[in-house]
Structure 1
């Protein structure tokens, strides 16, 4: 990993609306620009941080994809989420001042480093920033509840459909196609996250392709019939 002064300030970054609060005054934006003064490049397969490391910063993903993992009781890794540009990583460390999971780059990536002590100090003065941090943390709680629902009540087809639709929705919010996906994670990693065996994930992808729901070519996936795919969910249209 390497660090360098950022050449793209928050005030003119195209991802600002995703990871920073809206409606900040010019002076407030300038203070945030000073706060986020460091970028870090993370090579594919490298950990941004590991479980047990001291917590010092939050990280806003600028480019690339990450997965977060925790170690289970028997030492095996459990994928807990996938993060993309405009999303915040590192919230797990706030509670005990140490990270409880590791974040690994699924491709060459870059993050903006946000020292948490300085964020907390600025948030006390800038109400919009404090409110935004609360929203980010709340969104993480909601996401965890969604994963629990996914693993506890849905069958294999419902789990994979929900995963693909959620991924497409998040990518579309970043200006990408809502139907054309390039999966940065492996089938094994998808299965680990969804609580499914690799063979089940592969069979379900094949079944969706046979049914005309997807067009699949290695890691390139096109959602051919979003409405029918969403119709597989217990609450159609939701993820």
Structure 2
């Protein structure tokens, strides 16, 4: 991902339809599709485990998987937990540029230059599988299916980076926060986890950093979503968010785009 991909950007889209098609996702996949995605993740992890030696590493919140500038030797596959990818600008500013869930890979940014370009940090207790890159390439030569898994993971990361940039470039602040919550809930659903109540592993400041917004703007957007009954805050903490209907988040985003659509007609 570009280091400045989540900095505030002012962009003009050619048509409202183009914005809606590029940014607003389709309704959540039906249960069968979600189960299929969860099964593919499990199959991928099993294929990796069967194909090459793995080092299993338990991490806790705040632990660093790797740091920018370290020599690239390994890729990391997430077996459990939540992780963030952080870039450090030349003037010392930290920028959250990626969120990772079970089945995702870490470390692709180190392949080209031979050193990692970002920090990968655990946001709660989890497990990463440490995969030697040289051993992975050798295993791919023996098992073509493994090469397909690697290419799929790279393609998925490119697509997510594109979608994230489109969100920052084209969505107003309230819609950006709603789209962030939708993405988080959808990622959980694809991994067989509950989505009616989620625990945000990021502070308001970190969410703002990721979305190119201030902490205050994030808080106002969450309050607006709660006032509209799209989300509810659980009693035990402001990071515990109840989402009665994930589809309502997508409809909220579409509603935010409606004024722009009328303006372009």
Whether TM exceeds 0.5 here: the answer is yes
Corresponding residue to 1:131 among 148, 155, 162: 148
- Structure 2 residue aligned with 1:194: 211
Distance, in Å, in 1 between the alignment partners of 2:160 and 2:44 is: 20
| Structure ranking higher in strand proportion | 1
Corresponding residue to 1:77 among 85, 91, 94: 94
Kept after mapping to 1: 8 A contact 2:110/2:117 = yes
Unmatched 5+ stretches in structure 1 = 1-14
Matches for 1:48-197 after TM superposition, within 5 Å: 48-197=65-214
Corresponding residue to 2:247 among 194, 215, 227: 227
Distance, in Å, in 2 between the alignment partners of 1:63 and 1:82 is: 13
Kept after mapping to 2: 8 A contact 1:46/1:105 = yes
Kept after mapping to 1: 8 A contact 2:185/2:246 = no
Unmatched 5+ stretches in structure 2 = 1-37, 257-265
SS in 1 for 2:241: strand
CA-based RMSD: 2.2
1:228 Cα deviation after fit: 2.9
Whether 1:17 aligns to 2:37 is no
Kept after mapping to 2: 8 A contact 1:151/1:159 = yes
SS in 1 for 2:117: coil
Structure 1 consecutive aligned stretches of length 4 or more whose deviation exceeds 6 Å: none
1:136 Cα deviation after fit: 0.7
Distance, in Å, in 2 between the alignment partners of 1:206 and 1:79 is: 23
Distance, in Å, in 2 between the alignment partners of 1:159 and 1:68 is: 19
Q: TM-score, normalization: structure 1?
A: 0.83
Whether 1:213 aligns to 2:236 is no
Deviation by residue 1:165-218 (Cα, 9 ceiling, x = unmatched): 111111011111232211111111111100110001111111110111100131
Distance, in Å, in 1 between the alignment partners of 2:85 and 2:53 is: 22
1:149/1:234 CA distance change after superposition, 3 Å: farther
Distance, in Å, in 2 between the alignment partners of 1:108 and 1:225 is: 28
- Structure 2 residue aligned with 1:11: none
| Structure ranking higher in helix proportion | 2
Deviation by residue 1:82-103 (Cα, 9 ceiling, x = unmatched): 1122211111111111100000
SS in 1 for 2:252: coil
Kept after mapping to 1: 8 A contact 2:76/2:128 = yes
Kept after mapping to 1: 8 A contact 2:181/2:249 = no
Kept after mapping to 2: 8 A contact 1:60/1:112 = yes
Figure out how many residues of one structure are paired with residues of the other and give that number: 216
Larger relative contact order (C-alpha < 8 A, sep ≥ 6)?
Answer: 2
